[in-house]
Amino acid sequence: MNAIVELRQYTLHPGARDTLVDLFEQELVRGQEAVGITVGGRFRDLDDPDRFVWLRSFPDMTARARALHAFYYGPVWQTHREAANATMLNSDDVLLLRGPGFAAPDAAKPIVATICHPLDVAFADHFEQYLRPRLTAAGAPPQAVHRTEHAENNFPALPVRTGEDVMLWFTAGEATPLPDLSAHLKSAPQQLRLEPVRGRRS
C-alpha cells in the first residue's frame, strides 16, 4: 500500500554535512520513529558536497500532520534544532509524494534518484511499457516509483514544492543513460547520484 512520502533535499553550509549526518543518525532518526514517522534512506549527494537528501513516510496525510506536530514540538527536536538548523542554508526543497518509500539496500552501491516532470498522465504508461523494461535490461531496474501527492500541505510550518507534477524512481549502481524522453517530459530528467549514509546509531 502506498504511503505519503517526503523527499527532502537540504542545502547546507560548506563543510557542515557530516555534522548533520551524525546528528541524524544519533538523535533525529530515532526521535522521529518514536512518534510514528518511518525514516527511509539518508544520502550524501555525490555531486554536491553540501547537499543532504533523505526520505520519510507516513500512512496518510492525517498521520503526517499528527506525527510532524509531535516531533517538531516535542523534546528531541527542541533539544537539537539549533544544532541542526545551524548546518542548513535551505531546507525547503521538499517533494510531497505518494509511493512505497525507499531505504537503500545493504549492498555498497550508489543510488540514483531520477526525477521527471511528465507532460501528461500518458508518461506512466510509457514508463511501464518501454522505459522500465529498457532500464531493467540494462541492469538498473527501477525501484520504488513515486508520484506527486497533490493534497494540501497540512503542516504548513514546513513548506513543500507546489504547482508541479513529478514521477520519480530509484536505481542501484551508477547512473544509466536514459533514452530521449523529450516527447514525454516538460524538461530534462534530473538524476541525483547518492551515497547511502551508513552511520552508526547509538
pLDDT digits (tens, 9 = 90+) for 167-193: 999 999 999 999 999 999 999 999 999
CA distances 186 to 107, 109, 149, 181, Å, are: 34, 30, 18, 9
The answer to whether residue 201 sits within a structural domain is no
The CATH number of residue 37's host domain is 3.30.70.100
pLDDT at 199: 58
Q: What is the pTM of this model?
A: 0.95
Average pLDDT over residues 54-83: 98
pLDDT of 148 above 90? yes
Q: Would you place residue 104 in the very low, low, confident or very high pLDDT band (cuts 50, 70, 90)?
A: confident
Does residue 98 carry a pLDDT above 90?
Answer: yes
In a domain, 75, yes or no: yes
At residue 200, does pLDDT exceed 60?
no
Q: What pLDDT score was predicted for residue 6?
A: 98
Residue 31 lies in a domain: yes
> Residue 125 corresponds to which cell in the numbers above?
504508461
Q: Is residue 36 part of a domain?
A: yes
Contact 5, 56 (CB under 8 A): yes
Question: What is the structure's pLDDT at 202?
Answer: 37
User: 187 is in which domain, residue-wise?
Assistant: 3-196
Give the residue, 2 or 201, on which the prediction is more confident: 2
At 113-135, the pLDDT tens digits run 999 999 999 999 999 999 999 99
**Average pLDDT, rounded, for the chain:** 95
The answer to the question of residue 163 being in a domain is yes
Distances (CA, A) of 47 to 36, 52, 72, 125: 32, 11, 30, 31
In 52-201, which ranges are continuous DSSP H helix? 61-72, 75-85, 122-126, 132-137
* pLDDT bucket at 145, cuts 50 / 70 / 90: very high
The contacts of residue 112 (CB under 8 Å, 6+ apart) are: 140, 170, 171, 172, 173, 174, 175, 176, 191, 192, 193, 194
Number of independent structural domains in the chain: 1
Query: Taking the mean position of all CA atoms in its chain, how far away is CA 168?
Result: 10
Kindly state whether residue 202 falls inside one of the protein's structural domains. no
Residue 134 within any structural domain of the chain:
yes
Q: What is the mean pLDDT of residues 25-37?
A: 98
pLDDT recorded at residue 201: 43
| pLDDT value at residue 107 | 67
Between CA 38 and CA 22 the distance in angstroms is 18
pLDDT band at residue 106 using 50, 70 and 90 as cut-offs: confident
pLDDT at 32 over 90: yes
131 lies in a domain?
yes
